[in-house]
Amino acid sequence: MDLVTVAAYDRVAEARLAKNLLEAEGIPAFLEGDAASDVFHLTSEVKLQVADEHAASAREVLEAAEQHQLSEQTEKEADAAAQATGEAPADE
């Protein structure tokens, strides 16, 4: 499976929220660089990656999120996933 970077974040928490959002939409997502940032408290870039066949859909979901066009159900699912991993909900 070839992974494609669909976004990059300076903060691990933001990257994890975006990952949770994609997974709430049924798009498996992976983070590259989050472990090093957590362990060493580095401020390195964290890349959000998905399989090549999901890249276009993932970009659409992320763009809609940036424009605050999420459906209520999707937003609730992303918040629930974030809370399950100990992250703050997306609207905080």
What end-to-end distance do the CA atoms of the chain give, in Å?
34
Domain extents in the chain:
1-54
Please report the pLDDT score of residue 26 as a whole number: 96
Does the pTM exceed 0.85? no
Q: What is the C-alpha separation between 10 and 15, in angstroms, rounded?
A: 8
What Rg do the C-alpha atoms of the chain give, in angstroms?
Answer: 13
Q: What is the pLDDT of residues 27-45, one digit of tens each?
A: 999 999 875 555 555 567 8
Q: Summarize pLDDT for 75-91 with one digit per residue, the tens.
A: 777 788 888 876 655 45
23: left (phi over 0), alpha (psi -120 to 50) or beta: alpha
